[in-house]
Structure 1
Amino acid sequence: MAKRLTALTVKSAKLKAGRYGDGGGLYLVVRESGSRSWVFRWRERGTGKQRDLGLGSAGLNGVSLEDARERAGELRAGLRRGVDPKEQRKEADRATVDDTFGGFGDALLEAIKPGFKGRNQHNDWKRDLEGHCVPMRRKRCKDIVTDDVLGVLKPLWLTKARTARELRGRIERVLDAAKAKGLRTGENPARWRGHLKELLPKQPKTKRHHAAAPYEEVPSIVKKLRTKHTTADTDVNLAGEFVILTAVRTGEARFMTIREVDLRERLWTIPKERMKAERDHEVPLSGRAVAILRACMPKDAKPGAYVFSGQWRKDGSKPLGMNAILHTLQDIYPNMTTHGCRSSFRDWVGDETSFPREVAEAALAHKVGDEVEQAYRRKTALEKRRKLMEAWSAYVGGGMSSIVSLPAGEQRVQAG
């Protein structure tokens, strides 16, 4: 078979964009960008449709002309035996994939990890795949049946309802992905509607509340935090006070970076990637909150440095530990959680002030109203929230009378 390409031609910088044949269905494809690759072309048996299969990049550090010809020869030989090149490729790919539930699930987790909102979501997946799914990990995906899924769900279904529901959903996703990869066929044994829903008992309804201190106790908690800070060698007590002052979620404060804060405007913008609502959230900063940030920001740190540094890395390269703020607060008030600080704030706003509900909910980064209302109302009441957060700061700081200052025109009410 006469060959029409040479190794020098393949490497030549003078080749224009186009397709260059080498004979026997092998082509060199050159793109406008200058990149080049090998393609094998054939006609499908029975239909006569033209098909292409990529054989890899060409040129420097790519597949050589000799190797491309050898691969094309193997594909032609397969065609003569009735083997479809694309099916042959799929079989080869499947042969290199770990088709056990554990191996494939771990690989899937790594593939989808970039789309997670935070580290906790990744840890939860690992807990489920490596811990709860132990009885299934060595089984091939195609061999997993309903009884296997029930075997890992039943011990948790009534005692740890939320964990069990999340576990079922993750098993379902792994098996769906395995089917998409050709590693199993048929219905998903972890599907809910019309399947597991009919086999598992109804879970008891439980309403979870984060432990919170009554807002009347918050000023004394803040006072103790400030006292502890005078003898501490870390900024964790200030971080605890900052969480209370801003009513944000702990993770949002832990991973705050210097570039997110505008001290002149007294504004902290949390990027949507770190927000539960998946949209940027502006947090107006009270005077005390700004003072805390000035005290905690690592000196001469880069914009990407964390404001609240870990105890052993005070250059801002590591954030505070996951439970550091929680433990600090519970040392003062044992029946308290960091998320509960948000509840204390919300109760105070509702009981002791006349700030509108919408302003309070916006301060907590909650969505207000249905989709139509949200579409029309895109402002976040920033200036009203700024007055609200100053009033809250004055209240928890204990440096005010029992009167809460409200926006102009609104009635003043007793704070306690």
Structure 2
Amino acid sequence: MATSGIRTPKKALTAAYVRTVTQAGKHFDGNGLFLKVKANGAKQWVQRITIRGKRTEMGLGSADLVSLSEARDVALQNLKVARSGGDPLRAKRESQAVLTFEDAARKVHELNKPSWLNPKHAAQFISTLETYTFPTMGSYKVSDVTTSDVLAALTPIWLTKQETARRVRQRIGVVMKWAIAQGWRQDNPAENIDQALPKQTKAVKHRKALPYGEVATCIQVIQNSGAGRSTKLALEFLILTAARSGEVREAVWDEIEFETDPSANPANPANRAVWIIPAQRMKMKREHRVPLCTRAVEILEEARDIADGGDLIFAGTKAGKPLSDMTLSKLIKELGFEADVHGFRTSFRTWAQEQTNVAREVAEAALAHAIKDASEAAYARSNLFEKRKILMDSWASYLALGEAEIITLGAAK
């Protein structure tokens, strides 16, 4: 076999020769490919090739891992790329630079962390991938992850932890879309796998809610409890406005629009303020204007008396930090009520349905729910604010009286 740089015919080497040769030196094959045998017996494939007018040598891997036929295939492909004006050496370097799925996921997590409004969501993004994907495919190049790898990660939890599995799938997709943007792959293996996964049953988890007839009593018990004043005010404000916990706990003074003249609306003097929740704090990412009843305004005045000088209306025990959702939930449970904080929205909705003649869309608008029917949503441009004023005043009156009487809402002008 040739051991010098003289021209040799293509396929000059044989698999047996590659396996048995021990003589140190360069053993040439064809298309610039040669087997380099070192003095210690190690064998490596190398290709001598001219790339854009510059002669260079490319390593093609150990002969223990790359067979003769594989080395020939790579050498031929490199030669074709070089002759067409490409740079196979650069392509090789870029391929080696491709991150593993784990490294890519951590990179995506860091890039997106500033955009997540809730630190908990940012932490969950990476923790679920650490738990359910890194053990099986974390070490794979992100360019090499296949649909079967994604299925292997999702299948064990697809039916037992349905919501978690859906989120893991979505987060895998986020990583893959980033890899596509990097030019490392052309497809997203987390998509188009529905037929390969068993059908999930929709398990609806209802939040525990108090019967609306017990809400007034609950407010009285809260007011008489030994809880912090800010906590008690926040809970009552939440109930009166039928708002979500996070919307109330993170509310700031700039979101409140007070009427400068209490007599500005003599037809309805109870509504002397509006709470304007910005889109970024709303679940549907749409600004929500909440008409505030007299008692809600009183709560704001009480909250201002105990304000720590910060932006938050209902500040927690730590300066500049809002009350925690756990603080509100814990108080409700400790006072003996089997209900979730979010369940007060259900109490309000049931009351509106059973104790008023208010139209469904008015009650839904009060809860800032989206209209699911696309055709209906296209024509529903009003936020029904004036009708919601009357509804929220009626809810406050009902809670103050504690009486289950049918309330007829007149048409708002």
Report matched runs for 1:330-369 at 5 Å. 330-368=333-371
Mapped pair 1:383 → 2:404: no
Say yes or no: does 1:374 pair with 2:369.
no
Question: What residue in structure 2 maps to residue 175 of structure 1?
Answer: 176
**Aligned match for 2:410, one of 386, 390, 408:** 408
Evaluate the alpha carbon distance shift between residue 401 and residue 338 of structure 1 in structure 2; reply closer, same or farther with a 3 A threshold.
closer
Deviations 1:164-223 (A, max 9, x none): 1121121123123213313345x44322x3xx3233222223222122111122111111
Structure 1 residue 88: deviation in Å? 8.9
Q: Quick check: 1:118–1:274 contact (8 Å CA) kept in 2?
A: no
Which of 301, 307, 310 is 2:313 aligned to?
307
Runs of at least 5 residues in structure 2 that lack an aligned partner in the other structure = 1-50, 55-81, 260-271
Normalising to structure 1: TM-score of the pair?
0.68
In the alignment, which residue of structure 2 is the partner of 1:276?
283
- What does residue 262 of structure 1 align with? 257
Q: CA deviation at 1:396?
A: 2.2
Q: 1:393 aligns with which of 371, 396, 399?
A: 396
Is the partner of 1:182 in helix, strand or coil? coil
Could you say if the C-alpha distance between residues 107 and 208 of structure 1 is closer, same or farther in structure 2, counting changes exceeding 3 Å? same
Tell me the distance in 2 between the aligned counterparts of 1:86 and 1:391: 75
Q: Is contact 1:245-1:392 (8 Å) kept?
A: yes
Q: Is the 8 A contact 1:387 1:406 kept in 2?
A: no
Q: What does 1:138-153 align with in structure 2 at a 5 Å threshold? A: 138-153=139-154
Name the stretch that deviates more: 321-330 or 242-251. 321-330
Of the three residues 218, 221, 224, the one matched with 1:224 is: 221
Aligned: 1:291 with 2:298: yes
AA at the equivalent of 2:410: A
The alpha-carbon deviation at position 325 of structure 1 amounts to 1.5
Aligned to 1:213: 210
Q: CA deviation at 1:120?
A: 4.3
- For 1:235, what is the secondary structure of its paired residue? helix
> TM-score, normalized by length of structure 2?
0.69
Deviation at 1:162, TM superposition (A): 1.6
Partners of 2:255 and 2:87 lie apart in 1 by: 49
Contact 2:242 2:367 in 1 (8 A): yes
Q: Provide the C-alpha distance between the structure 2 equivalents of 1:335 and 1:287, rounded to a whole number of angstroms.
A: 28
- Report Cα offsets for 1:365-405 as digits up to 9, x if no partner: 112364444343322121211111111112223x3655455
Instruction: Provide the residue aligned with 1:3 in structure 2.
Output: none
State yes or no: 1:108 paired with 2:108.
yes
Structure 1 range deviating more: 341-350 or 132-141: 132-141
Q: Distance in 2 between matches of 1:271 and 1:86?
A: 52
Report deviation, 1:244.
1.2
Distance 2:287 2:88 in 1: 46
Residue by residue over 1:230-282, the C-alpha shift from the partner in whole angstroms, topping out at 9 and shown as x without a partner, is x3335112212211111111111111111001233411000011112221100
Deviation sequence 1:105-142 (CA, Å, 0-9, x none) = 12112323454454443233123223322313333213
Question: For 1:13-52, what aligned pairs fall within 5 Å after superposition?
Answer: none
Structure-1 separation of matches of 2:173 and 2:396: 47
**TM-aligned CA deviation for residue 86 of structure 1:** 11
Of 233, 238, 242, the match for 2:237:
242
Structure-2 separation of matches of 1:216 and 1:155: 44
Deviations 1:261-311 (A, max 9, x none): 123341100001111222110011111111222222464735xx1111121
Sequence identity (%): 35
1:251 aligns with 2:246: yes
Q: Give the conservation status (yes or no) of the 8 Å contact 2:307–2:313.
A: no
Matched to 1:211, the amino acid is K
The 2-side partners of 1:86 and 1:269 are apart by 58
C-alpha spacing 1:88/1:176, structure 2 compared with 1 (3 Å): farther
How many Å separate the matches in 2 of 1:237 and 1:319? 14
Indicate the SS of the match to 1:279.
Answer: coil
Distance apart, 1:355 and its partner CA = 1.3
**Number of residues of Structure 1 aligned to a counterpart in Structure 2:** 321
Partners of 1:236 and 1:213 in 2: how far apart?
Answer: 19
After superposition, the Cα gap between the structure-2 partners of 1:80 and 1:334, relative to the gap in structure 1 and judged at 3 Å, is farther
Aligned partner letter, 2:282: M
Say if 1:94 and 1:182, in contact at 8 Å, map to a contact too: no
Cα separation, partners in 2 of 1:217 and 1:188, compared to 1, 3 Å: same
